[in-house]
């Protein structure tokens, strides 16, 4: 997303949100990872008081149809979902993250599970 694009909140609109795994790798192809992601989504939904109208979990990305949260902004909600998922994975989630060398760098560390922005 270009940096000069601004997000507008507060009109009570629904939001279609998509975010991807780092370098669009299929890091959500494991059932354990998908189940954990949905568990964290439920926690975030309750905490920020928002309505999840629909979701699709694909191996390398996630689609959400959300109401505006009653607490905070949608950006805060997405950040809480991404961070909560990575923190909950902890050491048990390392097996969900394949190790590979790409362009001389290792990808798939916990710090790089998600692509930046949404």
**What is the pLDDT, as a whole number, of residue 20?**
92
Could you report the per-residue pLDDT of 51-106, keeping only the tens digit for each? 999 999 999 999 999 999 998 999 999 999 999 998 887 755 555 555 554 554 44
Give the Cβ contact number of residue 100 at 10 Å.
11
**pLDDT class of 110 with cuts at 50, 70, 90:** very low
Backbone angles phi, psi at 19, to 5 degrees: -140, 155
State if pTM tops 0.85. Answer: no
The residues spanned by each domain of the chain are 15-112
**What CATH class is the domain 15-112?**
alpha beta
Going by C-beta distance under 8 Å and a sequence separation of 6 or more, which residues neighbour residue 68? 9, 10, 11, 12, 13, 15, 50, 74
C-alpha 23: how far from chain center: 14
């Amino acid at each position: 997303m270009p940096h000069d694009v601004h997000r507008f909140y507060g009109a009570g609109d629904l939001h279609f949100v998509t975010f991807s795994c780092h370098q669009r790798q299929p890091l959500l192809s494991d059932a354990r990872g998908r189940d954990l992601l949905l568990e964290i989504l439920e926690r975030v939904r309750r905490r920020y008081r928002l309505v999840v109208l629909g979701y699709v979990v694909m191996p390398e990305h996630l689609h959400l149809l959300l109401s505006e949260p009653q607490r905070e902004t949608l950006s805060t909600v997405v950040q809480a979902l991404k961070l909560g998922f990575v923190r909950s994975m902890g050491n048990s989630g390392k097996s969900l993250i394949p190790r590979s060398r790409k362009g001389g760098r290792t990808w798939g560390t916990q710090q790089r599970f998600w692509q930046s922005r949404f």
